[in-house]
């Protein structure tokens, strides 16, 4: 495979070869450090310093303009007793659960179907992936109209089959269901493709053996497919936890004009105000940068804790 | 269940055929559900608001697309904000591909003091959540005088840990050491090895990273919303959401037209890269 070194070296290249004492240390490696430095410089300026600064900020009171004032632990103490923050955690988890469990179920079903389909395989894959490619803003606008009270498609359907209309974007559960539906729609296909990748790693002999033993499709799924898929399931669950608990654009775009007090309010009764929306409201509406920083660390902690819990749950089930 | 041999065989053949039909029916249903919101947006973009308000809902295209298009262009600087989005997404994609692949090449194929430590740091950075950085980034940008300009969007995104990690994994497998050794003996210096040996081999990996970066930037909403304070100078996503906020209840036809048009560049990029991307995802996602 490797091209053999040519014997006739151009004289210019020969002249470039290092002559005399071997280069050492920084002089020998400088080009390597130079090549990786853009990322680390950017990270230093816009990653590390910001994270350090946000820790510093969380111990201060600051409106973004005036001078900072030492606040000690008082903002964290306030955070612990802040019922609005706690209710935003609850809202976030409810929306996450409403979106994630149907999504994982549907993605699994889709993946199994895709795996047994022989024809149009690539066409299906592209079609299922499409929702994930689109912008959340455009999709939130479209879903806003689908769930609209006066002329929304969902209500038109309900009316047609004889039910009462529901003020989807005006009631707590309507808001949560609308956001969750949007998220489920956007991520099911993506996760189905990931599951499909996992399904293809399951050895075919296992299925053959199961068929020989007379196992039906349902039995095969629960005895072979699901156990073999556990690592992929874990990956999907952790990724959807990290992204789902940080949802911002979906509720923000969907609900920004349903309430008058703030574009980050999460709709009537704050029913769709997720943790990150609350962070934005505290920081950029109230100009309370110090408390905003404390809220951000609170969110970070919730996400890490929740990811660990999810991880543990799936892993433990794997042990028996 | 256990009847005669022949009976069971016919039953099985019937069962597989029926299952095949059910399978494709299920898959097509899924595709319809995936596609429906797009279809619905197309329908709404071709009707006037009063038609949209009528019951029963319109399920077929109307004739008012040109009018909706005109009021869209009257209400927001559509092409201006689309140009901003293209500028940001295009520049960032180019910079990310260059910086990430260069750094990945070093991590994948060279040894130097401190490499392990720097790589562990990189993986750690990968996990830091975005909103922890939002306030300080805003403050830093304000101090630099970048708030309101595209620089605030481009510079922090110019290189990222995910891309370096992805390209490193790709390069480790794709670039053979013998090839590098040969070029070294030929006297190729570092940049030459990167440009002429490494890059041509990893083009599929670059395509994947490029498409994902472009999409991420095109669809980014939270940071441009904060950083672009001047309403005349925003990206397409922010302009769209302004349209929804101020006109959402009055002219849905226009808003839908905007939402739909904003998807077109993405769909073009996706159409170009779909085969590459889906193939790569299905193969390389789980390792």
- Model confidence pLDDT, tens digit, residues A58-72: 998 888 778 888 888
**Helix H segments across chain A?**
11-16, 25-43, 49-57, 74-81, 83-116, 121-133, 136-146, 153-160, 172-199, 204-212, 217-220, 226-228, 230-244, 249-255, 275-280, 289-319
More confident residue, B73 or A21: B73
Tell if the CB–CB gap between B256 and A142 is shorter than 8 Å.
Answer: yes
Q: Taking CB atoms and an 8 Å limit, are A51 and B219 in contact across chains?
A: no
The CA distance from A119 to the nearest CA of chain B, in Å, is 9
CA distance B183 to B187: 6
- Sort out which chain B residues have CB atoms less than 8 A from A109's CB and list them: 26
Angle at A100 between CA A94 and CA A101, to 5 degrees: 95
Q: What percent of chain A has pLDDT over 90?
A: 18
Interface test with A, best of B72, B108, B131 (most A CBs within 10 A): B131
Looking at residue A2, what is its pLDDT? Answer: 37
Q: Do B135 and A10 touch (CB under 8 A)?
A: no
Residues of A with Cβ-Cβ distance to B133 under 8 angstroms: 46-47, 50-51, 54
Give the pLDDT of residue B100. Answer: 92
A13-36 burial by CB neighbour count: b if 16+ within 10 A, else e? eeeeeeeeeeeeeeeebeebeebb
For an interface test with B, the pick among A29, A40, A67, A142 (most B C-beta atoms closer than 10 Å) comes out as: A142
User: Measuring CA to CA, which residue among A126, A131, A125, A99 is closest to residue A200?
Assistant: A125
**Interface size between A and B, measured as CB pairs under 8 A:** 274
pLDDT tens for each residue of B168-214: 878 887 788 888 888 888 887 888 888 888 888 887 788 878 888 89
Kindly report, residue by residue over A97-149, the tens digit of the pLDDT. 999 999 999 999 999 888 887 778 778 888 888 888 888 888 888 888 888 87
A10 pLDDT higher than 70: no
B 233-262 residues with CB < 8 A to A: 237, 240-241, 244-246, 248-249, 252, 255-256, 259-260, 262
Write down the pLDDT at residue B280. 55
Q: What is the distance of C-alpha B148 from the center of its chain? A: 24
pLDDT at A8 (0 to 100): 38
pLDDT at residue A17, rounded to an integer: 46
Q: Residue A123 and residue A128: Cα distance in Å, rounded?
A: 9
Q: What is the pLDDT of residues B104-150, one digit of tens each?
A: 999 988 888 888 888 878 776 666 667 777 788 888 888 888 888 88
Taking only the tens place, the pLDDT of each residue in B247-274 is 445 577 888 888 888 888 888 887 777 6
For residue range A163-187, what is the model confidence (pLDDT) as tens digits?
888 888 888 899 999 999 999 999 9
Q: Which two tokens stand for residue B61?
A: 């295209």
- pLDDT, greater one: A15 or B151: B151
Predicted local confidence at residue B4, as pLDDT: 45
The alpha carbon of residue A227 is apart from the nearest alpha carbon of chain B, in Å, by 16
Mean pLDDT across chain A, nearest whole number? 82
Question: Residue B118's closest chain A neighbor by CA?
Answer: A40
Strands A69-70 and A60-61, by their bridges, are antiparallel
pLDDT of residue A188: 92
Is residue B182 less than 8 Å (CB to CB) from chain A?
yes
> With bands split at pLDDT 50, 70 and 90, how would you rate the model's confidence at B283?
low
Q: How far does the CA of residue B158 sit from the closest CA of chain A (Å)? A: 8
| Whether A51 and B266 lie within 8 Å, measured CB to CB | no
B169 to chain A, any CB pair closer than 8 A? The answer is: no
Cross-chain Cβ contact B241/A131 below 8 Å:
no
DSSP string, B144-162: HT-TTSTHHHHGGGSS-HH
A173: helix, strand or coil: helix
Would an 8 Å CB–CB cutoff place B44 in contact with chain A?
yes
Instruction: State whether residue B195 sits within 8 Å of chain A by CB.
Output: no
d(CA B58, CA B41): 12
Residue of higher predicted confidence among B284 and A155 = A155
């Amino acid at each position: 495979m490797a091209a053999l070194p040519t014997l006739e070296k151009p004289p210019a290249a020969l002249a470039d070869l290092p002559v005399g004492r071997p280069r050492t240390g920084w002089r020998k490696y400088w080009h390597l450090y130079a090549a990786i430095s853009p990322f680390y410089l950017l990270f230093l300026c816009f990653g590390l310093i910001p994270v350090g600064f946000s820790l510093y900020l969380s111990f201060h009171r600051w409106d973004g303009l005036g001078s900072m004032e030492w606040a000690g632990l008082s903002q964290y103490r306030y955070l612990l007793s802040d019922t609005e923050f706690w209710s935003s955690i609850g809202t976030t988890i409810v929306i996450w659960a409403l979106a994630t469990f149907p999504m994982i179920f549907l993605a699994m079903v889709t993946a199994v179907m895709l795996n047994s389909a022989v024809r149009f395989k690539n066409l299906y894959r592209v079609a299922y992936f499409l929702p994930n490619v689109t912008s959340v803003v455009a999709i939130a606008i479209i879903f806003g109209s689908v769930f609209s009270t006066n002329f929304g498609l969902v209500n038109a359907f309900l009316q047609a089959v004889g039910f009462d209309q529901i003020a989807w974007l005006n009631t707590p559960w309507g808001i949560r269901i609308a956001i969750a539906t949007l998220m489920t729609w956007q991520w099911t296909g993506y996760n189905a493709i990931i599951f499909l990748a996992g399904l293809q790693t399951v050895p075919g002999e296992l299925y053959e053996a199961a068929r020989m033993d007379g196992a039906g499709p349902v039995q095969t799924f629960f005895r072979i497919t699901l156990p073999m898929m556990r690592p992929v399931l874990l990956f999907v669950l952790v990724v959807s936890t990290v992204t789902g608990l940080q949802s911002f654009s979906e509720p923000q775009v969907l609900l920004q004009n349903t309430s008058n007090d703030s574009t980050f309010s999460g709709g009537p009764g704050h029913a769709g105000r997720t943790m990150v929306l609350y962070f934005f409201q505290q920081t950029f509406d109230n100009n309370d940068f110090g408390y905003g920083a404390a809220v951000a660390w609170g969110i970070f902690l919730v996400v890490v804790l929740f990811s660990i819990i999810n991880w543990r749950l799936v892993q433990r089930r794997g042990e028996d | 269940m256990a009847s005669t041999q022949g009976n069971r065989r016919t039953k099985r053949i019937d069962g597989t055929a029926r299952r095949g039909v059910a399978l494709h029916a299920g898959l097509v249903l899924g595709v319809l559900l995936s596609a429906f919101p797009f279809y619905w947006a197309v329908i709404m973009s071709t009707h006037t608001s009063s038609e949209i308000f009528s019951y029963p809902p319109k399920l077929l295209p109307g004739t008012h697309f040109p009018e909706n298009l005109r009021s869209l262009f009257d209400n927001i600087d559509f092409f201006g904000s689309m140009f901003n989005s293209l500028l940001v997404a295009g520049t960032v994609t180019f910079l990310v591909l260059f910086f990430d692949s260069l750094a990945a090449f070093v991590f994948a194929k060279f040894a130097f003091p401190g490499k392990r430590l720097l790589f562990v740091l990189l993986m750690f950075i990968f996990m830091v959540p975005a909103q922890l950085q939002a306030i300080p980034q805003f403050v830093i940008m304000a101090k630099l005088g970048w708030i309101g300009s595209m620089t605030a969007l481009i510079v922090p995104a110019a290189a990222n840990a995910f891309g370096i990690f992805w390209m490193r994994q790709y390069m480790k497998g794709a670039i053979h050491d013998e090839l590098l050794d040969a070029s070294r003996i030929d006297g190729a210096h570092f940049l030459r090895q990167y440009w002429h040996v490494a890059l041509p081999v990893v083009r599929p990996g670059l395509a994947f990273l490029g498409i994902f970066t472009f999409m991420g930037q095109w669809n980014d909403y939270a940071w441009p919303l904060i950083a672009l304070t001047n309403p005349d100078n925003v990206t397409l996503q922010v302009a769209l959401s302004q349209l929804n906020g101020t006109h959402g209840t009055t002219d849905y036809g226009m808003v839908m037209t905007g939402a739909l048009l904003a998807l077109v560049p993405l769909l073009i990029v996706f159409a170009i890269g779909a085969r590459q991307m889906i193939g790569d995802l299905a193969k390389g996602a789980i390792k």
